[in-house]
Structure 1
Amino acid sequence: MAIGQKLEEARNRKGISLREASESTKIRGDYLSAFEAGQFDIDLPEVYLRGFVRLYSRFLGLDQDAVLSDLNLEMGNTSSRSAKKSLGSLTPPDSTEGSDYSHAPAPPVKSSVEPANLPNLVKPLLIVVVGIVLLTIVILIAFSGGDDTNQGEIQDPPSGTPSITETNSSPSPSDTLTIAGEHSLRIAVIAPIQHLILRNEGGPFPETNQRTREFKNLPAGWEGTLTFKDSFKCYCSSLENLRFFVDDGSEKKIEGEGSGNFTWQPE
């Protein structure tokens, strides 16, 4: 009985379709159809062809060695095929049953499965690579944006920086400060502020031992107290919503709206 007929009858006995067999073995359906039709001259390396036939035979419950022996007889042994390629001989190979070709070792099943799984591996790998490239581009844009430099750091205020005014014009005795001393800074938020950065010009803040403090999404009514030395710089995304007090002195506000920087130091 021909190999293709054996494969087809075995599949029919199992009561499965070519599609189900392809999904179970991970071998393309057109290859399985060609095997059952006895067409083994498909565009596949011989080691893959033999591996696929061996895997399909095992799946159908057939004797793998017997099927491969029949395949060898139908295709010719490997050495005769190599001789035909190198010498250009048209002499058909000896197909007697006593030939050693029926005992040729079968290739490992692993090598036959890998080509069918390659398309399943390439797609996720491409997705990961593209995701990494896009993430790298986003990070580069975020750190190199020209117009948004104020969002990540406090810069020296330009000539047009809003001035600081006191809402209470009559100073209290605590408004007289020494330049080299430490000062208490109380921040009050009268309306939501998305981003607030403070930098201690005289050294680190004692509360965190860092020179910079950053706050985000501050709600209306929020207050905080810090200790700084000499002077401080501030970036605020909504200057009109910020009030501050130095050494519990008079309330101070910034003459301006929107985002901007300012510096406070004793007069």
Structure 2
Amino acid sequence: MHQKTVGQILSEERQKRRLSTADFAKRARIRENYIIALESDKYEDLPPAVFVKGYVKMYARILGFDSAPVLALLRRDFSLSVRGTLVPREFLTPILKRRNRTARVTSALIGLAVVFLTVSGYVSWQWYQLQQPPRLLITEPSENTVSSPSVTIRGETDIGALLTINNQPVALQPDGSFEVTLEFFTEGIVSLVAESTDQKGRTSTEVRQVQVQF
């Protein structure tokens, strides 16, 4: 059996009292077009829900019936929109589902974008690294150090690079570190020129100047 709507119940109660919509509008001091919209269940033509509930209570007071069951039916079949108006629940549910589905799609797209950017960043960094000359760092001596004729040079470079200091080949340790001592036979400022060359012929150069004193 089809259940009556709120509008149908209110319309039947009014007609039992043999009141026209115009007569009831005058008694209730409610605009007649609101009476017609309410009894036709056209809630989109009505003001916010708080007024609609007030209209139902006014019907009950004037026509002499209990408003509680009608208000309960109203709460069951309708929900508040963001603007405070009443919206049929069957219209609201698909909207919520679409929003949830949109949120899931958005989250998935964001996840894919993060993965893409991470992979792209890694590949770009690797490509950048491959285009760079070998790393070369001299840790000792520091610039303008005063030294004895025996000068010890320490540092590190990329594993597999070819290292020379003042054109003399220098052996690397397995981790790319190196240590070599050069002898100088004259006093004064001398230059230590270190060059590291990788397998593609790219070269890095570091220069240190030290003061040799006997």
Which band: TM-score by shorter chain? 0.3 to 0.5
TM-score (norm 2): 0.36
TM-score (norm 1): 0.29
Bigger Rg over Cα: 2
Which structure dedicates a bigger proportion of its chain to strand?
2
